[in-house]
Amino acid sequence: MSDAADVHFLLDGMASRYIILADGRRVLLGFLLPGDFCDLHPQLAPVFAHPIISISACSVAHYPRRALAAWRGEFPALATALERWCLVDGAITRRWLTNMAIPAEYRLAHLLCELRTRLAQVGQADEASFPLFLTQQEMGEAIAISTVHINRSLQHLKELGLVRVMNHRVFIPDLARLESFVGFDSAYLEPGGGAFSRNSSAAADSPIQG
């Protein structure tokens, strides 16, 4: 079907970039949501490619690389879109890295905030809930936490009344409270957005700022 020389673009579903460690463990390096380019980078350097798995059923569009390269000159808007995605992708990765310094429970809450915001950007989430087809094991692989500990962290978030989960859907009774709990600021996900965040006052004990 699709050629290795194509560029892929996720239309629907959820996928993830990953890497396998020597001991067999898998590390998820990011999630791809509808609208994201799957493999932009490899056009310059195949060696950078990370394999991708689908998390839920996905539909994908693919364009010949050559055409894409040509379009970049012809349609500046496309070039901007590509660059924009590179930037957001990089910002997300740096945020994940930043979050490795905060405790498991916060990292999990942050992941949920991030996914909700990104899904909302593509019309698949609102303030109160969003679909999530990750297993707890996959969540663990994404934020470098054992499955057992994910389970306990999630339970604690539930006990705190910050989230609820029902058949593959996360419910958030009070989004502002959840976001303030982790000090979540969506600025890094909104390159077009203003330079100032809405979420200006995080809780005094929330682990992130900046």
Nearer to its own copies, 154 or 189 (CB): 189
Nearer to its own copies, 27 or 120 (CB): 27
Q: Do 112 and 81 meet the contact criterion of CB atoms below 8 Å apart?
A: no
Nearer to DNA, 43 or 137 (CB): 137
Rounded to a whole number of angstroms, the minimum distance from the CB of residue 202 to its own copies is 7
The binder of 191, among its own copies, DNA, none, by C-beta within 5 to 8 A per type, is: its own copies
**Region of residue 83 (phi > 0: left; psi between -120 and 50: alpha; otherwise: beta):** alpha
**Region of residue 36 (phi > 0: left; psi between -120 and 50: alpha; otherwise: beta):** beta
Rounded to a whole number of angstroms, the minimum distance from the CB of residue 160 to DNA is 14
Q: How many residues bind DNA (CB under 7 A)?
A: 18
| Order of strands, sheet of 129-131, starting from the edge strand that comes earlier in the sequence | 129-131, 169-171, 164-166
Beta bridge partners of 129: 171
Residues making contact with its own copies (CB under 8 A):
19-23, 25, 27, 29-30, 41, 44-48, 50, 80, 83-84, 86-87, 89-91, 93-94, 96-98, 100-102, 144, 183, 187-188, 190-195, 202, 205-210
46 token code pair = 């195949």
198 token code pair = 């809405």
Distance separating alpha carbons of residues 65 and 27, to the nearest angstrom? 28
45 token code pair = 């350097």
The DSSP annotation for 5-18 comes to: TEEEEEEES-EEEE
The binder of 210, among its own copies, DNA, none, by C-beta within 5 to 8 A per type, is: its own copies
Nearer to its own copies, 87 or 122 (CB): 87
141 token code pair = 């692989």
Nearer to DNA, 9 or 184 (CB): 184
The binder of 41, among DNA, its own copies, none, by C-beta within 5 to 8 A per type, is: its own copies
Q: For residues 105-164, which are near DNA according to CB under 7 A?
A: 105, 135-137, 144-149, 151-155
Judged by the rule CB under 7 A, the positions of this chain that interact with DNA are 103-105, 135-137, 144-149, 151-155, 167
